[in-house]
């Protein structure tokens, strides 16, 4: 009796285990295929919920239904105009046919490796077929000039294709190559571009020489303005001096005329005043004409001799 119970219990346990192992659950982010001895069986399971399989014999391969990330490695690529640049790219992709994906690639790791070959190859081909300006710019926009001296410098060359169209071209060609892999590339973008060291140094040297030219231009204009200001200053100073001299001469002339008028009026008043005037003018002449080492010879009938004799 006990043996039969044990057998029934074991059988029930096996049945329950098999029943549970025959059921698998898909959530909203997953899709799956069922394989039997390594070969896919039936249609892909894409709807979330309960699904069934034959236990032990069949296995379930799960795949992500969401958008997946692909991040490329930065590679050195030559452009059409022979300029070497480092290009770093990224993309988003999705498994659209899990059965075809399993047959061709097996798992996501193989899918990423296959995308490396496809996207890197198409990126190289596209960059090698276009010039650098088309890769880094998307439109023929007018530059915004923040300083007056930059007006002559900020002249952008025209592009014929543009970065966005090149990205769209790479995306289109890559999707053509992944059509039979059960995946679809949703988006492709250039993440970063940069010159190789040799080219970057030449670009920096050219930028520095351009800024040096602008500095020399400013310096030349400043020196010219300084000379202009200095010339205006000297001209104004000379004008002020000449006007001052003219005015002083006018004042001095008026003063001399007034003094002469006063002297003449005083001279003509009377004999004593006239005599005093003559005496003062003679003394003034003596003071300005002689010093301790001067010797003079005067006649006896001169006014100067008369005053000197009278002083003795």
Return the pLDDT at 290. 67
At 298, list the tokens. 């005067």
The neighbour count for residue 97, using CB atoms within 10 Å, is 20
Place of tokens 């003559």: 278
> Would you write out the chain's pLDDT as a tens digit for each of its 312 residues?
567 666 666 666 655 565 556 778 888 889 998 888 878 888 888 888 888 787 878 888 899 999 999 998 888 888 988 888 889 999 999 999 999 999 999 889 999 999 999 999 999 999 999 988 888 888 887 766 565 555 555 566 788 888 999 999 999 999 999 989 999 999 999 998 888 777 777 767 777 887 888 888 888 888 888 888 988 888 888 888 888 888 888 888 888 888 777 776 665 665 556 666 667 776 777 666 666 676 767 666 666 666 666 655
At 277, list the tokens. 């005037």
How far apart are the C-alpha atoms of 202 and 64, rounded to whole Å? 47
- Phi, psi for 297 (deg, rounded to 5): -125, 120
Return the pLDDT at 42. 83
At 301, list the tokens. 């009938």
Instruction: List C-alpha distances in Å: 261 to 228, 242, 264.
Output: 49, 28, 5
Return the pLDDT at 43. 87
The neighbour count for residue 277, using CB atoms within 10 Å, is 16
Q: What secondary structure letter does DSSP report for 267?
A: H
Return the pLDDT at 309. 64
How far apart are the C-alpha atoms of 123 and 66, rounded to whole Å? 25
How far apart are the C-alpha atoms of 50 and 69, rounded to whole Å? 28
Ordered structural domains, the chain, with CATH: 19-64 (no CATH), 68-195 (3.30.479.30)
The neighbour count for residue 44, using CB atoms within 10 Å, is 20
Place of tokens 């571009």: 193
Return the pLDDT at 69. 94
The pTM of this model reads 0.60
How far apart are the C-alpha atoms of 31 and 22, rounded to whole Å? 17
């Amino acid at each position: 009796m006990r043996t039969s119970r044990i057998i029934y219990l074991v059988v029930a346990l096996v049945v329950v285990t098999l029943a549970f192992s025959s059921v698998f659950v898909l959530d909203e982010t997953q899709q799956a295929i069922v394989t039997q001895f390594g070969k896919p069986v039936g249609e892909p399971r894409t709807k979330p919920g309960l699904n069934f399989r034959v236990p032990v014999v069949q296995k379930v391969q799960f795949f992500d239904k969401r958008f997946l990330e692909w991040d490329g490695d930065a590679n050195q690529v030559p452009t059409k105009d022979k300029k070497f640049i480092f290009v770093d790219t990224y993309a988003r992709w999705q498994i659209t046919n899990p059965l075809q994906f399993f047959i061709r690639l097996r798992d996501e790791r193989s899918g990423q490796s296959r995308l490396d070959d496809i996207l890197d190859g198409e990126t190289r081909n596209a960059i090698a077929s276009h010039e650098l300006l088309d890769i880094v710019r998307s439109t023929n926009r007018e530059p915004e000039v923040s300083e007056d001296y930059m007006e002559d410098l900020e002249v952008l060359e025209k592009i014929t294709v543009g970065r966005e169209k090149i990205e769209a071209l790479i995306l289109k060609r890559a999707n053509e190559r992944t059509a039979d892999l059960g995946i679809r590339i949703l988006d492709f973008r250039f993440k970063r571009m940069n010159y190789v060291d040799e080219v970057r140094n030449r670009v920096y040297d050219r930028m520095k020489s351009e800024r040096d030219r602008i500095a020399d231009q400013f310096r030349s204009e400043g020196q010219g303005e300084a000379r202009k200001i200095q010339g205006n200053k000297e001209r104004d100073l000379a004008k002020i001096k000449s006007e001052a001299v003219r005015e002083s001469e006018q004042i001095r002339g008026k003063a001399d005329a007034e003094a002469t008028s006063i002297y003449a009026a005083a001279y003509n008043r009377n004999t004593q005043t006239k005599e005093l005037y003559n005496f003062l003018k003679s003394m003034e002449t003596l003071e300005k004409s002689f010093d301790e080492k001067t010797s003079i010879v005067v006649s006896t009938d001169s006014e100067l001799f008369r005053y000197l004799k009278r002083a003795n």
